[in-house]
Amino acid sequence: GAELGAPGGAPRSQNAPPRNERDYGGGVRKDRRSGVGIGGRGDPKDSGPPPKRLTLGSGEGGGEGGGEVSLAQLLAKLGPALHAMHGYETSQTLALLSALPRRHYETGYVLGLVGLCLFEAADYKKAEQVFQQVWRAEPHRVEGLEWYSTALWHLHKDVELGFLAQQVLQGNRMKPQVWCVVGNCFSLQKEHDTALKFFRRALQVDPAFTYAYTLCGHEFASNDKFDKAIPMYQNALTIDPRHYNAWFGLGNIYHRQEEHENAEHHFLKALEINRNNSVLRCYLGQVLDALDKPLHALENFKLAAKGEPPNGMAYFQKARVLINLCRFEEALEALKQVRCLAPKEAQVHFLLGKVYMELKRDRNALEHFNIAMDLNRDSKDYHTIKTKIEQLKHVAELQDPEPTPPPPSEGPPAMSRRSGVGPGPDNRLELSHLLLPAGSSVGGSPHPRQHGGGRGYQAVSGRPSAGGAGANPLP
């Protein structure tokens, strides 16, 4: 019988397209959105032109040599850079990002990554410059402000940090980065309680903002409130187990409490995440030295000294271990490196004097002891240095025959042939005057930032230092 379905019971052709696919103008209906035919047998003639490749600007100034860059090519460059950044391979990340086309490299997002790389490498001056570019390009961008403000904290730029805090408060106050900036501003003024209020405000805005917990921990540790600092670091690790700053903060606390085994464990955990961090290497080396493992400590100091920018703390600690191992020539070379990085560190000159004494180079030893005295005039170490100078003078008197007294005259007082110092109320000043090269400056104060004080930083670079005053050298 006839197949029903057509009007009037007429049979329908087997090859006839369904009603919703017929084009009563004589062709196959096309999809309105794409313009591509969806009926018939899929003849290529009916498929329309192929879609155009999406391009994203030229490669001028980047790695494409002036040609257009497709979205796939852009992601192929950005993906490996983000992967390297996740592994704290800062040099590799910077190289990959620099291959991006200029118009993409100069966006706030990419420059923020560049600034973070420099920040992680402890190159705070360059990081500050890059973050300034981000701020100028995108004044309302809040991502990365926490790192920018911490870089200013490291550089002790209180005016710039105060200005930044005022500016960000005029924007979106519901972002935790804004309150971290304000907290860092008060922290730099050593108003730790006020700083803690603002860091806690950041946590109220976003309870999952890991870095705010770490900053709270740093502030508590600066006030020696370890019982309150430890839970803050632990909260940070609960949210992000790869937050190496919190691992370091815990290790720093245990190191200051002389729980060296615990400190070693936490520093190693931090290094598993960020193995290229020279500050972590330094603190692990100090713990290993305290555990009577000088050779292992020396290996870590050598690795830390290879970092960029040069880590003066690494050279200094390396020299201390070498002195304990009686390897004075090697210690001398390391101390010379530190002197170039921190010429006004009294402790560096004191150790140089001790090494020169061991090497029987008394004149050099005397020179550096006097520089150390000028730099440390009000310190409790002043008498220790003075004792070393007296020892040198005593050795000189034993080695030199007693000079023949000159006949009475009205000329200047006689001077020792060895030391060139005559009688007077302040031999120290005369020694310094005779032995220091012309134009030398021995005034001023030691390097303002020590990896190991306040929030823990290094005496020759660095944020809080764990060594002495209990600060954290890590951001």
Q: Show the CA angle centred on residue 151, arms to residues 148 and 156, nearest 5°.
A: 125
Neighbouring C-beta atoms of residue 314, cutoff 10 Å: 29
The CA distances from residue 422 to 223, 273, 379, 445, 471, in Å, are: 49, 60, 26, 29, 45
Q: Which ranges of the chain have pLDDT less than 70? A: 1-67, 378-380, 382, 394-475
Per-residue pLDDT tens over the stretch 113-137: 999 999 998 889 999 999 999 988 8
Phi-psi region of 444 (alpha: psi -120 to 50; beta: other; left: phi over 0): left
Burial of 378: CB neighbours in 10 Å, binned 0-12, 13-18, 19+: exposed
pLDDT at 451: 37
Give the type of residue at 120: E
Neighbouring C-beta atoms of residue 250, cutoff 10 Å: 26
Return d(Cα 206, Cα 177) in angstroms, integer.
Answer: 10
pLDDT at 50: 53
Q: Show the CA angle centred on residue 136, arms to residues 131 and 139, nearest 5°.
A: 95
Per-residue pLDDT tens over the stretch 382-414: 677 777 777 777 666 655 555 444 444 444 333
The CA distances from residue 352 to 330, 336, 338, in Å, are: 12, 8, 10
Per-residue pLDDT tens over the stretch 209-251: 999 999 999 999 999 999 999 999 999 999 999 999 999 999 9
pLDDT at 398: 56
pTM over 0.85, yes/no: no
Which residue shows structure tokens 């800062």? 90
Q: Are 217 and 237 in contact (CB under 8 A)?
A: no
Q: Which two tokens stand for residue 27?
A: 């062709």
Which residue shows structure tokens 């830390």? 304
DSSP state at residue 414: P
